[in-house]
Amino acid sequence: MDLKKRLILANAATVIIPGLITVLAALAVFYLYGQFAFTDKTVVNFQKLVQAELEVSQSIKSALEQKPEMLEDQNFQKHLQEQLASYRGEILIVKKEEVIFASREFNQIEIDKCLQAEDWHSSLNKRLTLADTTYTIRSVGLKFRDGAPGKAVILLPVEKAAVQMKMAAAALGLLFFVLYLATSVLISFHFSRSIIRPLSNLQNAAGEISRGNLDYEIAEEGDGEIQALCRKLEAMRIKLKESIHTQLKYEENRKMLISSISHDLKTPVTSIKGYVEGIFDGIANTPEKMDKYLKTIYVKAGQVDTMIDDLLLYAKLDLNQIPFQFEPTDIEKYIRECILEFEPELERRQIRISLQSGLGQSHVLPLDRERMRRVLMNILDNSCKYMDKEKGEIKILLRETYTGIIIELRDNGAGIGPQDLPYIFDRFYRSDSARSQGSGLGLAIAKQIVEGHNGRVWAVSNAGGGTSILISLGTGSPAAEEKRREGKKDEQE
């Protein structure tokens, strides 16, 4: 449920529920009271009291209009007393704060109570208790024949039923107030489960995140708006965690880059420095030596440039900063093109390369042609480093599987020792026999690129000598499909 609707219903329930219970309680009280106490006689008595009050008031007003002197006439006073006697009512006539007539004997305290009743002219339902009897007070302003002011105070007994009804009304009012408080407490407690508790959990999560604990997951709970807030904050936490992870990874790569540069560049830079010093010292005193020294310096500088390029490329691949440009590619045709490109350099090293295809039909795969060419080049370069035969041979074999194809690059070189085989795709790892050659990132870069194609690369040692590097690529274009899904997701967002 939405938070807005829940708040409206809660506020309405806070008033409606106590109101309904109070109304039902009032109906029950009135019903029971009517059955056992509030009889027809009570109603008749109440009507008679009202009628007596009106009759006495009307008699006094008529006397004031016709003959004001009648107010002091004993017969008229006796008539008023008789009118009230049947209702157990009393009357006092006051002239200039002096009682000139009383229907019964009042002590001074009772007289003072009657005279001190506030606002005589509007006190229609004022009540006063005299001698264990509760009266309603009705005051009528008088003006005697000599012009003196006065008042007539009419006291009529209050029915017990009316008092009881007043007490019942007060009890019902108190009941409503108690129910209102109880309902408010119950609804607040209920809200603590659907609103306050999720907000408290969000507060705890924010505190954990602010302290650097990005593993504190934010669960979706509460009403719709709070769940949406939880989703947003959880997405923010994941993004922040990924960002920090990427930053830490970048820092690690940066440190490793600096360490690798300082280590791997030491040898070629030392060589360059030595040959330059030889030129300065006059050791290269012939044109042939000078040409040899300069060519060596050029080759070493090229090695330095290649090392730096490999380091930067791996760092970018590791941080997914290089996008792949996938194109539908006939894999067999593509491998043949690569062989034609690499063949001259391999022949110069006296290494023969060949292709053996076991594919029954053409297979079109989504490839980043430039990146995959770098994979093949790095693997072939690694094979050349370990080649210990005068006539080396590299075979590229293609075969089909249930889920895709496998490209195998098999050489007849020295092979890789079993202690080194599990680690040759780790960055900066080189076996002892190739410790001084390259940057140690060739196969690590190849692994990153193959995995960017949603493929897999691994190495095995051949029984007859040499090593095979195998690349498994799927025909369902998983990389392109993943890229398509990410693009569709971005469009929806």
The model's confidence at residue 142, banded by pLDDT at 50, 70 and 90, is confident
> Cα angle at 420 between 418 and 422, to 5 degrees?
85
In this structure, what DSSP letter does residue 187 have? Answer: H
109 phi, psi to nearest 5 deg: -65, -40
Residue 215 falls within a domain, yes or no? Answer: no
The one-letter amino acid code at 146 reads D
Instruction: Please check whether residue 467 is in contact with residue 459, taking contact to mean a CB–CB distance below 8 angstroms.
Output: yes
The rounded distance, in Å, linking the Cα atoms of 336 and 355 is: 7
Number of domains in the chain: 2
The rounded distance, in Å, linking the Cα atoms of 223 and 252 is: 43
> How would you label 118-138 residue by residue, b for 16+ Cβ within 10 Å and e otherwise?
eebeebeeeebebeeebbbbb
pLDDT tens for each residue of 411-441: 988 777 778 787 788 766 655 544 445 556 7
Position with higher pLDDT, 307 vs 345: 345
Instruction: Please check whether residue 84 is in contact with residue 103, taking contact to mean a CB–CB distance below 8 angstroms.
Output: yes
The model's confidence at residue 493, banded by pLDDT at 50, 70 and 90, is very low
Parallel, antiparallel, or unpaired: how do β-strands 351-357 and 126-130 relate?
A: unpaired
Percent of the chain with pLDDT strictly greater than 90: 7
Residue 164 falls within a domain, yes or no? Answer: no
**CB under 8 Å to 215, separation ≥6 — which residues?**
241
Q: Domain range holding 369?
A: 323-492
- From first CA to last CA, the distance across the chain in angstroms is 25
Percent of the chain with pLDDT strictly greater than 70: 73
The candidate with the shortest Cα–Cα distance to 330, out of 473, 210, 190, is 473
Helices marked H in 37-159: 40-66, 74-85, 108-115
Residue 403 falls within a domain, yes or no? Answer: yes
Model pLDDT, residue 397: 93
| pTM of the complete model beyond 0.85 | no
Three-state secondary structure call for residue 307: helix
**pLDDT at residue 143 above 80?**
no
Residue 254 falls within a domain, yes or no? Answer: no
The rounded distance, in Å, linking the Cα atoms of 36 and 30 is: 10
Over residues 83-112, mean pLDDT: 76
**pLDDT at residue 148 above 90?**
no
Read off the tokens for 218. Answer: 């934010």
94 phi, psi to nearest 5 deg: -115, 135
**CB under 8 Å to 264, separation ≥6 — which residues?**
307, 439, 440
Three-state secondary structure call for residue 352: strand
Over residues 450-466, mean pLDDT: 85
Residue 439 falls within a domain, yes or no? Answer: yes
Parallel, antiparallel, or unpaired: how do β-strands 98-102 and 149-157 relate?
A: unpaired
Model pLDDT, residue 118: 47
Residue 241 falls within a domain, yes or no? Answer: no
Model pLDDT, residue 470: 92
Residue 366 falls within a domain, yes or no? Answer: yes
Domain with residue 83: its CATH number is 3.30.450
Domain with residue 439: its CATH number is 3.30.565.10
Q: Tokens 């140690």 correspond to what residue?
A: 440
Position with higher pLDDT, 257 vs 128: 128
The rounded distance, in Å, linking the Cα atoms of 73 and 102 is: 13
Instruction: Please check whether residue 49 is in contact with residue 87, taking contact to mean a CB–CB distance below 8 angstroms.
Output: yes
In this structure, what DSSP letter does residue 178 have? Answer: H
Listed residues 114, 143, 158: the one ending a domain: 158
Listed residues 158, 180, 206: the one ending a domain: 158
Over residues 145-173, mean pLDDT: 71
The rounded distance, in Å, linking the Cα atoms of 127 and 453 is: 97
Listed residues 133, 158, 183: the one ending a domain: 158
The model's confidence at residue 33, banded by pLDDT at 50, 70 and 90, is low
Over residues 48-64, mean pLDDT: 64
Helices marked H in 284-330: 287-318
The rounded distance, in Å, linking the Cα atoms of 183 and 10 is: 10
Residue 346 falls within a domain, yes or no? Answer: yes
**pLDDT at residue 94 above 50?**
yes
Give the residues across from 395 on adjacent strands.
354, 410
**pLDDT at residue 467 above 80?**
yes
Parallel, antiparallel, or unpaired: how do β-strands 133-143 and 98-102 relate?
A: unpaired
